[in-house]
Amino acid sequence: MNLSLGSWLTVLHPTIVDLMTEQKFDWLCVDLEHSPTSYLDLQNAISTIQLKGKKAFARVAQNTHYHLKFPLDAGVDGVIIPMVNSADEAKQAVLNCFYPPKGNRGVGLARAQKYGFAFEEHLQSNLKNLTVIVQIEHVNAVEQIETILDIEGIAGVFIGPYDLSGSMGIPGQFEHPHMKEAIKKVSNATIARKKILGAHIITPKYNKIDEYSNLGYNFIAFSIDTLFLGTAMREELTKLGR
């Protein structure tokens, strides 16, 4: 599977979204879990991203029908769902995301369905093309990774290192042997099934991309809008001795 490179959007001012979509990313993900994003801003961002020929993802706040319903109706190409820790929770994610008979997603008429003028088209797209990625960020999820990945409709996983390390009692210790072992277990199981293996390179340093790609990661979030902005400012001001 070829590398798919994207980034994270947390500031949905039209200028920021426009600048990010002009870059050579394959996809952009709007963060609904840790940013003050409104649904209106989300829909406008999705439209801009897709008009630039890129995939639009949304990370939702919780694995519930309520939290997934609007991003899907707004027309995202895929969702990233946090804290999926068991096969049962992965099954629930699938039910929340897909229309019957694959799931139990509620029917609405919004942007994704072209406001009622293309429901049948969207129905088929939802059942065939929606990308559902679950975040592996708890030790319980690591223990059940094979059964999570084997749920039909789960396209892959995205490793959340901060929460995962916290659940193991070693918060932020990414080089700890137990942490490395857990990540290796997840990556091996995902690669064996030829599914999406995602990770977030938080610091905007390009040399990390090849490092992760060589380890088998094929869905990489390269930094985040605020860090791109803040890092550039700090580096230039440091050169001025400030």
> Domain locations in the chain?
4-239
Q: Considering the entire predicted model, what is its pTM?
A: 0.95
What does CATH list as the number for 4-239? 3.20.20.60
Q: Which of 13, 34, 178, 200 is catalytic?
A: 34
> Has residue 1 got a pLDDT over 80?
no
Q: What is the arithmetic mean of pLDDT over 12-29? A: 97
Confidence band, pLDDT 50/70/90 cuts, at residue 41: very high
pLDDT digits (tens, 9 = 90+) for 124-157: 999 999 999 999 999 999 999 999 999 999 999 9
The fraction of the chain above a pLDDT of 70, given in percent, is 100
The confidence score (pLDDT) of residue 182 equals 96
> Has residue 221 got a pLDDT over 80?
yes
- Mean per-residue pLDDT of the chain: 96
Q: What is the arithmetic mean of pLDDT over 154-182? A: 94
Confidence band, pLDDT 50/70/90 cuts, at residue 176: very high
- Known catalytic residue at 200: no
The confidence score (pLDDT) of residue 91 equals 98
> Over the Cα atoms of the chain, what is R_g?
18
pLDDT digits (tens, 9 = 90+) for 72-112: 999 999 999 999 999 999 999 999 999 999 999 999 999 99
